[in-house]
Chains A and B, each alone.
Chain A
Amino acid sequence: MGLIDNLAKYAQHQNLSKDKRVVFDSFIKKGFPTNSDEEWKYTSLKKIVKSEYNLFPEFSEIDNSIINKYSLGIKDKIVFVDGNLVFSPEIKGVQITGFSDFDCRNNDAISELNSALAKSGFTIIIEKDIVVENPIEILFFNFTKNSFSQYRNRIIIGENSEVKIVENIQDLSKSSTLVNHFTHVSCNKNTKVEYNKIQNNTQESKLIDCMNIFQNQDSVCEVNTLIFGGGFIRNNLNFEQNGSNCESNMNGISLLDANQFADNHTFVDHKTAHCRSNEMYKGIYLEDSRGVFNGKIMVRQDAQKIDAFQANNNLLLSDNSTIDSKPQLEIYADDVKCSHGCTIGQLDEEALFYMRSRGIGISEAKAVLTYAFASEVIESLSIPELKNLSQKLLAHKLNVNLDFSL
């Protein structure tokens, strides 16, 4: 039985409300997207939806040592185990609770599925005029074998407030699993938000992540997507600017090997004037790995004086690695500044010799050059523990014992 039949059967027993039933039926009608859908042209779900999944989480206990192993060492942690919220911190001016339902405008099949059936996730509400001093770490652990998990999360940031968040979805089931992760972020006036995603998983884990960010005037929001492993990853990152003087920043690293796959789809909807967006995605592909980048920037008719920048740079470090990169600009206003660029290349032989002549061995020289390539993103990370972890993961993945700090 494929996933869609399994889900239909599951839904029958869920006593869905009338509204949810409508959304679910819409999902069933559309089905999972295929390669004939433009947004999924280079990304195939075929194998994924054919697999058998367990839709019922089996709750397990978690040992503190496991939490500590995957935590950045940040004090304020939200911890989920098999979809259960087991731990949340007390922070002044911040309400943290489990799943609370909400509507959204996404009408793609996978978001509808999440909307109809998700029962787990977090809700973070930050009051106005609160600067959350320490970053908040959110850890999702899964131990259920062959699980299909759906999380639905909501973040509301009150006027003039600031927060930094690090999210890590970790599959420890040693089996083939799928996660459908949906997060909705509302940035009110004059807020500052930084959201970091660590995606470092096993070959068998699959993740479809959708994040919608709604920005009001004078808000700044940054999302860093750090991919260091995973069998299949699809990230949909959507920004909507609804007030003047908004800034949307996106940075990404994809460092993949074996036959890993990661797809970053970004969309910035510039609806109002005097706003900015910056996008910098770096891909490094080893062995048989494959990447996709699709960056869409829409500048609506009334959105004058927009300054939008997008770059996607890729290093292909083997003959069998692949990247499909597609910048997409749709501009309906006449007084804007938009630039984009995409590069695909290899390491510079001259630079390699230069480093070797200084005593740096060939693997280390390659690693240093690769780090240099990614450093624009890694060095910009504002949480020291996260920067440190990224440097370590990069060295580990490139099989060298190098310390990139100093």
Chain B
Amino acid sequence: MLKIKNLKAGIEEVQILKGINLEVNSGEVHAIMGPNGSGKSTLSSVIAGKEDYEVGNGSVDFLGENLLDMDPEERAHKGVFLSFQYPIEIPGISVSNFIKTSLTEKRKALGQDPLPVKDLLKMMREKMELLSIKKGYLSRNMNEGFSGGEKKRNEIFQMAMLEPKLSILDETDSGLDIDALRIVANGVNKLRTKDNATILITHYQRLLEHIVPDFVHVLHDGKIIKSGGKELALELEEKGYDWITKK
């Protein structure tokens, strides 16, 4: 589904990604771990299409197309979703209005008619239940005054509504207490199918107890320096990153 080859990117003169190679197939869950400043969030922003980054070498192929040629909205239409580390507050727009607009615009781009309001509300209710989201939530302003946990839950709610093919969850576990973590992880697990894929970006092994990855990659200084199975995460938790980075 996603093939990243020798990807290099940075901001202005500073090179952050120094040659990333990564292949993600349908049905897989990949975890990318690494110390602060290793380039984890840059990688997710570049895949989602944030324009602040200058992409130098390398290619990102998504379902046979060059992702780097597309605008952020086009990437979303093709099925890429980024759950933000710091979701943005948008006062004045309700959660329901925001989600309705993104869903309608995505459907429009794919040549589909907007969902009838009745169906849309039904779908929202189902997905809310999945994430144990309470009623009055839809009419609240987008992320405004939300707790850290509510913001992250809102990200996963949008993911559930937009049904992406590739979801990148950037530090989704940060700011979550144990109960919220369990609910969010449970939601992500239920949304997994053999046709979609997930990339988890995280500092800690904690999230991986709830969402079990097929592959774990260690990112350090802009490069993936080690890949392995889920047991790699446990090893990292035990020994820290120094063990690999100092080799």
Contacts and interface: CB of A to CB of B under 8 A. Distances in A.
A360 B102 contact: yes
Interface string A353-377: 1111111111011001101111110
Contact of A357 (B72, B92, B96): B72
B117 A406 contact: yes
Contacts of A355: 90, 98, 102
Given A356-B49, A359-B105, A402-B101, 5 more contacts: A357-B48, A357-B82, A359-B106, A359-B109, A361-B71
A387 B112 CA distance: 28
Contacts of B106: 359
B interface bracket (residues with beta carbon within 8 Å of A): 20 to 34
B50 A353 contact: yes
Nearest to B77: A359
Nearest to A372: B92
B162 A406 contact: no
Nearest to B158: A358
A130 to B, nearest CB: 34
A355 B82 CA distance: 11
B49 A364 contact: no
Contacts of A368: 93, 98, 101
Interface string A312-352: 00000000000000000000000000000000000010110
A348 B101 contact: no
A406 B120 CA distance: 11
B151 to A, nearest CB: 12
Interface in A182-198: none
10 contacts: A354-B90, A357-B73, A357-B75, A359-B109, A362-B73, A369-B93, A372-B90, A372-B93, A374-B92, A404-B97
A364 B93 CA distance: 13
Contacts of B77: 359
A374 B97 CA distance: 15
A348 B92 CA distance: 14
A359 B76 contact: yes
B14 interface: no
Closest 5 CB pairs of A and B: A372-B92, A359-B76, A356-B72, A358-B102, A375-B92
B228 interface: no
Contacts of A365: 73
B37 interface: no
A372 B91 contact: yes
Nearest to A405: B97
Interface string B129-163: 00000000000000000000000000000100010
B133 to A, nearest CB: 17
Most chain A beta-carbon neighbours within 10 Å: one of B82, B94, B97: B97
Contacts of B241: none
A375 B77 CA distance: 27
Contact of B101 (A354, A357, A360): A360
Interface in B89-126: 90-94, 96-98, 100-103, 105-106, 109, 117
B229 interface: no
Contacts of B101: 360, 364, 368, 402
A360 B94 CA distance: 15
Contacts of B73: 356-357, 359-362, 365
A80 to B, nearest CB: 36
B215 interface: no
B88 A354 contact: yes
A406 B96 contact: yes
Nearest to B89: A351
Contacts of A348: 88
Interface in B47-103: 48-51, 71-73, 75-77, 81-82, 84, 87-88, 90-94, 96-98, 100-103
A362 B71 contact: yes
Most chain B beta-carbon neighbours within 10 Å: one of A357, A361, A368: A357
Interface string A385-402: 000000000000000001
